[in-house]
Chains A and B, each alone.
Chain A
Amino acid sequence: MPPRNHKNWLKVPKIEHISSECYNNHSIYEQEIEHIFAKVWVPMCHFSEMSNDGDYRSTQIAHQNVVAVNIKGNVKVFLCPSIDRPAGNGLDTAGLKELHSEVKHGGMVWTTLDPNPTQSVEEWTCGAFDCIADAIDAEDMEVFHYHKAVIDTNYKLWHDTNSEFYHDFMHYFNRVSGFNDEYFARKNIPFDNGHVNVSSFTVNYEEYDGFEDRGELSFPNLPPNQWYMVDLFPGFNFNLRGSAYRSDTVTPLGPNKVLIEFRGYGLKKDTPEERQTRIKHHNSIWGPFGRNLHEDLIGVAGQGTTMREGTEARNILHGRHENSTIHDEVGMRHYYEAWGKFLGVSPANPLGLATDDVIAAE
C-alpha cells in the first residue's frame, strides 16, 4: 500500500471510526456537561471517607458543588454552593437541596444531579460490576490512598486508556508480567449504558525483576493474582488487581483538561501487616511514583497535545474485531455508541458537518 497523502489521510475510513473533534471541541464539551455529567450517576467518593456521624465530603459535578454528608450513618447528598473544603465534620445542611444518592458497589457514594433519575444505580450499572461483586461487596472496604492529577487532555482519552488494552505495550511491567495466551484471551464485555468490563487472567508479578508473587493476599472470593477491570460510562474506572482495588473518577475541566482522582482500597478488617502489603502492591503499579500510572499519564498527555483545540481533525480508527478479546475495540465502539446517543450526534461527525464537508472514501 502506498503511503497516504494528506487527502487520503482525511478520507472517511471504511471501518468504524470517530473524529478527533470528539476530544477537542468546546461546544461538544459543554453538551457533555449538560447532557451526560448532569444526568448520570457519579461515584463521588467512598463511604469510608466519611464514616463518622457529621462527616462530609465535597466534589464538583457538572460545574456544581456537591457535598455528601453522613447523617447518623446514612449518606445524604446535597447541592451546596458555598462549600469550600474537600472534607470535614459538622456541615449545616438546612436549606440545601438534596440530590438522589445511594451507597453501592463496594461502598461507593453515588449521586446524580438529575432530579428525576429513571434508573437506580443498580439499573444504571447494568451488571458491569457483577464480575467483581463477590470480591468488593463481601466485606467493608476502606480507602487508603488518594491523589489527583490535572492533565491537559480530554477526559475520554483517559477513559479510552482504561478501555483499550493495546497501550499495554507501552508498559514494560505488563509486557513481562502478562503477555501470555491467557492475557490475549481476556474478553471485553459490553453492558447497557456504555459500560464495559474486562475479564481476568493471572498476572505473573514475579516476572518483573525485584517483584514477588502476590498470591499471599487477595480479596474475598477472588483467586490470587487476578486482574479485573470495570469501565463505567462516561469516565469512571474500577480496577481490581488481586491484593488492591483502585478507582478513577474524572471531572472534565474543559475539552482539553481533566481532573482525575485516584483512590486505593483495602479491607476494613485488614491487619496492619495486610494493609501495608496492599499499599505497597498498589503503589508499585498504580501509585503516583509507580511503574504504570506515570506511563499512562504521559501517554494521555501526549494524546491531548496532538489533539488539542485548533489541530486538524482526524479519524480515530476503532476497527479491530478480534472475537472481543483483549485488543478488540469492541469496548471503544460500545462506549462511543452510547456517547453519541446521549448527545444526539455521530461520533464520526460530531459537529454535524454537511456531507459535502466530509471527504468520502473512494
Chain B
Amino acid sequence: MDSESNDMENNSSVDIERKIERIIYQAALALDKNNWADWFKLCDDSFFYAITSFSPEISKDMTYFSGDKKELTGLMEMLPKHNTDHSPLHRHTSVYTIDVSEDGKTAEAVSSVVIYQNMLDGINSHLDSGESRLFVIGKYHDKFVIDGGEPKFVNRETKIDNRRLDKGSHWPL
C-alpha cells in the first residue's frame, strides 16, 4: 500500500471515529430532551438497549431494564399514561475508546457517563426544585453498524455502578 492509500485509509478511519463520537453525543442530547424519536433515529432497527449493574451485595451481574427498539418505542409512547418524576436528567458523556473493525462495517465504543437529576417534582418541589443531584454514574458500552460510512447504534449497555436508585425512573439513561 502506498503512502497516499495509507493516508486515505487513516483519514477514513478518523472520519468514522469522529462520526461515532458525534452520534454518541447526539444521543446524549436527544435523551436529555426526552426526544425519544430523535434517539431512535440514531439506532438501527436491530437496536437493543439495557441498563445493567453488578451487585457486590448478591454477587450477581444484574439487568435492571432492557428492550429492543420496538419494545422501547412502545414503552416511551405509553409514558403519558403513567405517573413519572419529570425532573430532567443531564448526561455528561466522555467518549473514552472507539474501535472500528478491520472491515470497517462495525465498531464499538466505551464512554463514561455521569447523569445528574435537576429536581423538579416528585418529592418536595418547594424545597427541592432547581437543585441538581447526582443520579447515576457508569459507562456506555455501545456497538455500531456502519453502512455507507454512517454509524448507527445496534446495542447500548448502560452499565451503572449504582444499586441505590431511590425513586428510579421511567426513562432510559
Contact = CB atoms under 8 A, between A and B. Distances in A.
Interface of A: 46, 48-49, 57, 85-87, 143-152, 170, 172-173, 208-210, 263, 279-280, 283, 287-291, 293-295, 297-299, 301-302, 304-305
B130 interface: no
Contacts of A298: 83-85, 122, 167
Contacts, number: 116
B28 to A, nearest CB: 18
Contacts of B56: 85-87
Interface stretch (B4-12, B31-39, B71-79, B142-150): B71-79
A146 B62 contact: yes
Interface of B: 51, 53, 55-60, 62-66, 70-71, 74-75, 77-78, 81-85, 122-124, 163-172
A287 B170 CA distance: 10
A295 B57 contact: no
Contacts of A283: 63-66
B164 A289 contact: no
Most A-side CB within 10 Å, residue of B57, B77, B78, B163: B57
A46 to B, nearest CB: 8
A148 B56 CA distance: 13
Contacts of A173: 82
B57 A57 contact: yes
A319 B70 CA distance: 45
Given A294-B84, A298-B83, A298-B85, A87 B59 contact: yes
Given A86-B57, A149-B164, A289 B82 contact: no
Given A49-B57, A280-B66, 16 more contacts: A57-B57, A143-B58, A149-B167, A150-B164, A151-B167, A172-B81, A209-B74, A210-B75, A290-B65, A294-B167, A295-B84, A298-B85, A298-B122, A298-B167, A301-B167, A302-B122
